[in-house]
Amino acid sequence: MASHGKAQRTRERLVRAALDLCAAEGFENVSVGRIAEAAGVTEMTFYRNFPTKESVLLDDPFDPVIADAVVGQPAHLPALAAVAAGVRSAWGAVETADLDVVRDRLGVVAQSPRLRGAMTQSTAATAASIGGALRARGAAAPDAEIAAAAAVAALTAALMAWAQDDSTALDTAIERALRILEGER
């Protein structure tokens, strides 16, 4: 994991502990107390960093970056093209040093019905963020919501497939989803 300040290192230890425990024992069988203990912190420290046990595995700081990138796309682009261009732009600015953590997170999510349900809620928030960005660009509300939902569904499917296929690079999986959204193949 990348080197950061103490708070960031604590978050990273909590994520790693949660991933290791949940991969070995299943998400439903691991308590916050056990995650905190494995990370060498208290439960209170866990809750200072993550509001719920689910959030330690589903926390996604990428939404505002995507929304900002979508808003910044040229006005002439149709909604799906603006989303695709925005995702490409945002993705280019993301550090990809921790891709193993992302893959591990998605692997744990895929194995837990509870986490898959929580991921559905998380992706709804992502779609709302992208929809808001599209409306800010002037798209009609229904068009923005449809384009955002389509983009999030495509990206989620690509991420889940990538998490289960070590032979595919994440960049490749994301680009494939974006090309499909744009009507290419």
User: Residue 27's pLDDT is what?
Assistant: 94
Torsion of CA 125, 10, 8, 107, to 10 degrees: -50
Is the per-residue pLDDT at 99 higher than 80?
Answer: no
Q: What is the mean pLDDT of the chain?
A: 89
User: Looking at beta carbons, which pairs linking 19-26 to residues 24 or more positions away fall under 8 Å?
Assistant: 19/57, 19/101, 19/104, 19/105, 19/108, 22/57, 22/108, 22/112, 23/104, 23/107, 23/108, 26/111, 26/112
Assess if CATH 1.10.3720.10 describes domain 60-181.
no
Is the per-residue pLDDT at 171 higher than 80?
Answer: yes
User: pLDDT digit string (tens) for 110-169?
Assistant: 888 889 888 888 889 889 999 999 999 999 999 999 999 999 999 999 988 888 888 888
User: Residue 83's pLDDT is what?
Assistant: 95
Architecture in CATH of 6-55: Orthogonal Bundle (1.10)
- Strand ranges for 2-154 from DSSP E: none
User: Residue 96's pLDDT is what?
Assistant: 64
The yes-or-no answer to whether 6-55 and 60-181 have a common fold is no
* CA nearest to 151, candidates 134, 136, 139: 134
Is the per-residue pLDDT at 51 higher than 60?
Answer: yes
Q: How many CB atoms lie within 10 A of CB 124?
A: 13
Is the per-residue pLDDT at 2 higher than 70?
Answer: no
Q: Whole-angstrom Cα distance, residue 164 to residue 111?
A: 11
User: Residue 178's pLDDT is what?
Assistant: 95
Residue spans of the domains in the chain: they are 6-55, 60-181
